[in-house]
Amino acid sequence: CRRCSFSSASFRIIKVDAVAGPEGEHSWAKHYPYCGGAFQSPINIKPELLRFDPTLRPVEVQNYNLSPNEQLTLGNNGHSVQISLPSKMYISGLPHRYTAAQLHFHWGSSGRPAGSEHMVNGRQYAAEMHVVHYNSDKYPNMSTAVDKSDGLAVLGVLIEVGEFNPAFEQFLKFINGIKYRDQRVQVPGFNIRALLPARLDEYYRYDGSLTTPPCYPSVLWTVFRNHVTISGKQFVSLATALYSSHAQDSAPVPLNGNYRKPQLADSRVVLVSFKEGKYGLHGILTVTSPLTRKRIVQQLLVGDLADLADEGLYQLLPSGTEKIHAGKNKYHKNQQTETLAKSKQQTLLKKSQTNRSVGKLGLAEDALCYVAMEHKVFQHLKVSHSETQLVQALRDAVFPELNLKSYLDCRSDLALPAIRHILRGRPPTDEALELDRSLTRALKNQRKTFTTIKQSVPVTNSGSLSPATVPRKPHSQGYPHPWLLPMEWED
């Protein structure tokens, strides 16, 4: 298994050939297969992805105001400017305590001041700051946490050219001391909180990944809605002072344009902590409650499969079903009510069985370890001499687990591969096998659809496409998905 190299003191971004700048992205997956996989970052935060979550509380940062007596390390790692942060800094209010490790930047160039990684409704900002934290409740350091599915939490701050920012000047005035790769200088501590927007209660949140190799999908992203500004002179200083090459290299390579392009949504949704807003974000749908989502998964695990196929399963998929429901007659509504009541009764009767099943699916305390997953999949492929298929095989293995966990946390819609993954944990009855065949046919139809629209749909670095990007066929007979018609054995 190819383990990646990390600093024990703080997470160090991996340097690969041509990693600086968008041009090198297409080769990442050859050496780091997760870069061509699922749940990648950054994304374009579009209105259709948004769900309002009234339970989201303001972000609380602790011990961010550092004394000038504390020395911080400012460095050029060949890909970005990075500042090491003391372990006393942390975020509270998340499911775990996340301790700060470092912050770094992504930016455009002096000729094109558009280098933020995340976009909001297609708008790219001049730069972006990431404050990286690791789950210190479960892991001893950043290098242990970086490849775990609950390992990291990153605060994203969008930066625009505008007014002078005195907080940014606290480290920009030392930038000439780190002109070349691997150069470092010590800088006095300052108020890191001043680098963030004034309001920490308005933000976007979603499940994603590191935006540089090895691209592990281990990040809980919080991107603040409000941007901060730096002056034009400050931006030019950042965009023109640095090189991604070593001082002794004969041909210096400028360090700019170090942002990754937006990645596929992969059935993810973006939770927002605010209702009203700019960019046409009015009328955001409220997210389905975690309790409802858990009940749906329980029904998939232990419920009646015939009922699922006839009445309930199509409700799990985001297809504008609200409009369809409005046109249904009273008799059908009564049928749905009876089905839900039956489902609830079955859930209560089989609660202990369900809890065990959920645990087996890796949804309880155990987090996915991506290094271990890569090793396991690679060894399996090696037996069949199919090592070249590692990127797609990893995606196929990881996507259902990530989608299911993210769905239960309200940060994804439930995708077909995840539904099939759940149902394959059930005993192989005739009903289960028939439904699995239906799901398989549906996925094959998706792939056929992908082939016909390849030119108009974005692809990942590996050429794979997301189930979330599938254009849906016109609804027929009230069913948003034709494969979810009454099951054959009912006759």
Q: Known catalytic residues?
A: 79
- The residue type found at 180 is Y
Task: To the nearest 10°, report the CA torsion of 459, 462, 463, 469.
Answer: -40
Upper half-sphere CA count for residue 482 (Cβ side, 13 Å): 10
Dist CA 3 CA 390 (whole Å): 15
Q: List b or e across 196-207, with b for residues whose CB sees 16 or more CB atoms inside 10 angstroms.
A: beeebebbbbbb
Dist CA 118 CA 289 (whole Å): 27
Task: To the nearest 10°, report the CA torsion of 4, 265, 124, 453.
Answer: 110
Upper half-sphere CA count for residue 173 (Cβ side, 13 Å): 8
**CA-to-CA dists, residue 193 to 155, 168, 190, 199, 222, angstroms:** 12, 11, 9, 11, 15
Dist CA 306 CA 434 (whole Å): 10
- The dihedral region occupied by 318, where left means phi > 0, alpha psi between -120 and 50, and beta the remainder, is beta
Angle at the Cα of 103 (from 102 to 108), degrees rounded to 5?
A: 150
Q: Note whether 40 and 460 are within 8 A (CB).
A: yes
Upper half-sphere CA count for residue 407 (Cβ side, 13 Å): 27
Q: Which two tokens stand for residue 353?
A: 């069985």
Q: Which two tokens stand for residue 477?
A: 């007979």
Nearest to 256 by CA among 111, 43, 75: 111
Q: Note whether 142 and 10 are within 8 A (CB).
A: yes
The neighbouring-strand residues paired with 72 are 187
Q: Which two tokens stand for residue 58?
A: 């303001």
- The residue type found at 223 is V
Secondary structure E strands in 231-369: 270-272, 285-286
Q: Which two tokens stand for residue 467?
A: 């189930």
Nearest to 163 by CA among 227, 229, 235, 113: 229
